[in-house]
Every structure is written in structure tokens, then in C-alpha cells.
Chains A and B, each alone.
Chain A
Amino acid sequence: DSGVTQTPKHLITATGQRVTLRCSPRSGDLSVYWYQQSLDQGLQFLIQYYNGEERAKGNILERFSAQQFPDLHSELNLSSLELGDSALYFCASSSQGTSNQPQHFGDGTRLSIL
């Protein structure tokens, strides 16, 4: 058990809808990372937050947004969903803002767009 909790585990919705994925980092970790894993694109880094502030940005679409709250949990919001957004979304946490610290991954949220 990595100590990172992601909810929900599965999410099924329709095109055009909006969903929110939630991540609780390991106790004491200040940094949260979001990743998308799909069959055709592999594992893609989306965005990183450190202690409530955006730290690094990857291949995150404009339809997607994230935030980290004062209690350090994070949410990834996906809107105007398209079939191609179907994927596994992972959250990872680390103790500091630099990623030389190990990232601990949750078990992911599987998003299916019908």
C-alpha cells in the first residue's frame, strides 16, 4: 500500500460531461503529481502541485484543471469529455517539491467515456 488514496476507482460517464477525480497524498507529503495512462499514449505527466501551488505543467489539456487544497488533497477536473479521454488517471505524491524524492503512486481512477 503506497499510502496514496484515489477516488473513485472507476468512473463511467458520457461525452460532454465533467468529472472530478480526487487524490489524498501520503501523510506528510507536500507534492502531488497527476498522470494519464492510456493504451496509445502511454504514461503522460499532466501537472504537479507543491503545498498548494502549481509547480510544473506537462501535457495537460485546457479542458483539464487541477488544484491542491490547504489540507493537501488534490482534485483533477476534466470537462467537455471526449472518447479519447478514457484512460487511467494516476496521482502520485512525494515529500518535497523536487522529484528526486520518490513518487508514491495511487492505484488510479479508471475513467470510461461512453
Chain B
Amino acid sequence: QQQVKQSPQSLIVQKGGISIINCAYENTAFDYFPWYQQFPGKGPALLIAIRPDVSEKKEGRFTISFNKSAKQFSLHIMDSQPGDSATYFCAARNTGNQFYFGTGTSLTVIP
């Protein structure tokens, strides 16, 4: 059973556009929600993370929106650039320090 559901599986965006990736979860014991960026041949790299007591967190062009009541969170990439083309994973951690990852979104930004 997938604990964290991520969509879409793939996304194509024009340069300068907004990329939006969504995740949903069921387990209310999750208390930390990171997003990772992964380039081919590399390990995932932490992009941005949020705790459930905050509804939004912004770091540069990357924003996490968190809706605790709906158990959903999303990553917004503003002014998307070709260099942002990568696979993005959302994740959630429970109070037992176990991590659950979404299935990933392959983002392609077209010049």
C-alpha cells in the first residue's frame, strides 16, 4: 500500500512556467514532509521541507503548500528552468522516524 501518493507521474512545462506536483497521505502520524530532487545517475537531494504546523514554505523559486485537513501537500516551482528538469519525490516521515516516498514525478522543462 502506497502511503504517499504522488501525481502526476510526468510533467512537461515551458521555460518560465509554473510546475506543480501534488502529494497526498493518509497517516496522521506523519510529522515531516520533505521534497527531493534527483538527477540521472545521482542520489536524491533535499530541496525543501515542511512541518504540518506551517501552511506554506518558500525557498527561492520553490514553494511547498501544505493542507493539513485535506492531508495534501504540493511543490510549486516558479519560473521553471531547463536545469530544473529532474525527478522529484515527495516524502513523509512518521513519529517512528520511518520515511515513505511518493513514486516520483519526472519533470521536463522545455526551453
Contact = CB atoms under 8 A, between A and B. Distances in A.
A42 B46 contact: no
Contacts, number: 52
B46 A107 contact: no
A44 B2 CA distance: 11
A43 B101 contact: yes
Contacts of A55: 97
B98 interface: yes
B51 to A, nearest CB: 8
Interface string B2-44: 0000000000000000000000000000001000000001111
B99 interface: yes
A32 to B, nearest CB: 13
Contacts of B97: 48, 55-56, 97-99
A64 interface: no
A79 interface: no
Contacts of B100: 45
A2 B44 CA distance: 10
A58 B98 contact: yes
Contacts of B96: 56
Contacts of A108: 43
Interface of B: 32, 41-46, 49, 89, 91, 93, 96-104
17 contacts: A2-B43, A33-B99, A42-B89, A42-B101, A42-B102, A43-B101, A44-B101, A45-B101, A48-B97, A58-B98, A58-B99, A90-B44, A99-B93, A104-B46, A106-B43, A107-B42, A107-B43
Interface of A: 2, 4, 33, 42-45, 48, 55-58, 90, 92, 97-100, 102-108
